Structure 1
């Protein structure tokens, strides 16, 4: 297929996907996998793949701003990455440093109100990368239109263990009562820059696992997951929109399940007392999307009609 025709086909497909999307997720988290394999298949070194991947990161930030996504978390460097050889790590640290400074000074970041924050065991990183993190966070601290969380030296289990240790220390010091230890207490002591539950995790590169990424904010929220084959440097807007479509399909299925459960509860209550069913229906309607609320109302009317018919008999 000629390049110009492929481009026209891709543009048309993008428009179709956009039309199918009713609403974007609030918080998207991405595992940027495949930089090294991308480079290796092209006879290049790993740092070349990381540099190409950084270009994709910039495009994804543009897509989030365009689609109204409020929070983006990128898995840039895991705790396991420290095991890589120095000849790969040093250029990667150089890239992280330069991109953090570049993003912090970019006009579009300030024009669009992007707040940059790092999550993870940042103290394990070289001083120059920590300085870049401090610079990016301080330069964008007043913004909140779009939060960009960069996971650096990050591991989900380590994050949870850190929060648990903090809670234990505060209880031991008498600063926190054991009765106050609940989900909110733990969440308050997790990474400060991750502010919302994750709606969608995207992983590139073909692997189908979430690799210890945001277990509290993603698993606890039953986030949708989209695995795709392209390496991170090849990740396209079509791939991104497909991921958002996966989230939308999951939300629609979840909402339908909630509606079916609500109607089932209403039927069970109405079997014994219609007055109680009216009270239950009122509560359920406030907890469901508009379509589900209409189904509950329709079921209540059906129950009323059935009762009226029995009285007439």
Structure 2
């Protein structure tokens, strides 16, 4: 009875959250933490936890597609994970191989045009895992409706370090002018295929840190972050939707802040900056609380007043001494 009641409450909450979601982030990145603790909690070994976590991964992929997410990145195995016991890692590598082959042949992957890509130091992985990676990427490389990035042997800082070294080598050889270095210069060297900026990071398992995960694409984009306590195998659709809601609130807060800053600047900027500030206020005006929203006529009046102050006229073509302005 208690379990039925809990499931009923969860279903109602899930429907409520679904109605609250107005949009979806383009790129969600997930740190799948807690597989081993889940296994210990349930009397199993690490492999049992990883296998249960793989089932959650499949569900999350479906949830992302249902709400319109276009790219999902999973932090599956870090470079630090090589320090774990060989027995545990070998069992995990076997599971990764099984799932990569399974995903590559799954109808739901091909029917939904899912492109599978692996990012990380793949040369560090066993041959059998690299073979599975090549198979999955080769079978889905022509798809472009949804991108599933699997981070294996991944370390965010090591990727940035390699990209920086590549830029330095090109500058030293004369192939690259230092003045031509821009954001795209670094991004082209991070991964073989472009990765979108991350809009939302989700981490399960209770820890509140992003663990060196996609620093260029997440921190640089000021991604929203959702930390939750369930272990990865316990992660539910309600948890997922709470994460999406966090992203929406973060985006709304960003728009509101931009509108407030632009509104404050309207009375203290040059004519060129005034035009830009007006544009921002007009775009994000509805993000402000009702009491803070300026009327459109007020915004225009402020613009006219600032323009007049800058030119020395009173708005009727006369300067401050009542002479016709040149």
TM-score higher than 0.5: yes
Residue 286 of structure 2: aligned partner = 291
Q: CA offset at residue 187 of structure 1?
A: 1.2
Note if 1:119 corresponds to 2:112: no
Aligned length: 306
Residue 49 of structure 2: aligned partner = 49
Q: 1:304 to 1:75 in 2, by over 3 A?
A: closer
Query: Which has the larger displacement, 298-307 or 22-31?
Result: 298-307
Residue 107 of structure 1: aligned partner = 107
Query: Which has the larger displacement, 192-201 or 63-72?
Result: 192-201
Query: Which has the larger displacement, 258-267 or 72-81?
Result: 258-267
Residue 14 of structure 1: aligned partner = 14
Q: CA offset at residue 69 of structure 1?
A: 0.2
Residue 303 of structure 1: aligned partner = 302
Q: CA offset at residue 240 of structure 1?
A: 0.4
Secondary structure of residue in 2 paired with 1:175? coil
Superposition TM-score, scaled by structure 2 size: 0.87
Q: Which string of whole-angstrom CA distances, capped at 9 and with x for unpartnered residues, describes residues 116-148 of structure 1? A: 000100000001100111111111111111100
Q: Which string of whole-angstrom CA distances, capped at 9 and with x for unpartnered residues, describes residues 240-260 of structure 1? A: 000111111111111000001
| Runs of 4+ residues deviating >3 angstroms | 275-286, 292-299, 304-308
Q: CA offset at residue 21 of structure 1?
A: 1.0
Structure 2 residue corresponding to 1:279, chosen from 248, 261, 275: 275
Note if 1:255 corresponds to 2:255: yes
Superposition TM-score, scaled by structure 1 size: 0.91
Q: Give RMSD over aligned pairs.
A: 2.4
The 8 Å contact of residues 266 and 280 in structure 1, kept in 2 or not, is answered as no
2-structure distance, mates of 1:185, 1:241? 35
The 8 Å contact of residues 281 and 296 in structure 1, kept in 2 or not, is answered as no
Q: Which string of whole-angstrom CA distances, capped at 9 and with x for unpartnered residues, describes residues 35-57 of structure 1? A: 00111111211011000000000
Note if 1:129 corresponds to 2:129: yes
1:141-180 correspondence to structure 2 within 5 Å: 141-180=141-180
Query: Which has the larger displacement, 254-263 or 288-297?
Result: 288-297
Residue 37 of structure 1: aligned partner = 37
The 8 Å contact of residues 103 and 109 in structure 1, kept in 2 or not, is answered as yes
Q: CA offset at residue 267 of structure 1?
A: 2.2
Q: CA offset at residue 198 of structure 1?
A: 0.4
The 8 Å contact of residues 224 and 247 in structure 1, kept in 2 or not, is answered as yes
1-structure distance, mates of 2:275, 2:207? 48
Q: 1:25 to 1:296 in 2, by over 3 A?
A: farther
The 8 Å contact of residues 263 and 299 in structure 1, kept in 2 or not, is answered as no
2-structure distance, mates of 1:303, 1:183? 37
Query: Which has the larger displacement, 192-201 or 106-115?
Result: 192-201
2-structure distance, mates of 1:185, 1:212? 21
1-structure distance, mates of 2:178, 2:34? 44
Q: CA offset at residue 265 of structure 1?
A: 1.6
1-structure distance, mates of 2:171, 2:114? 36
Q: CA offset at residue 301 of structure 1?
A: 3.4
Gaps of 5+ in 1: none
Q: Which has the larger radius of gyration?
A: 2
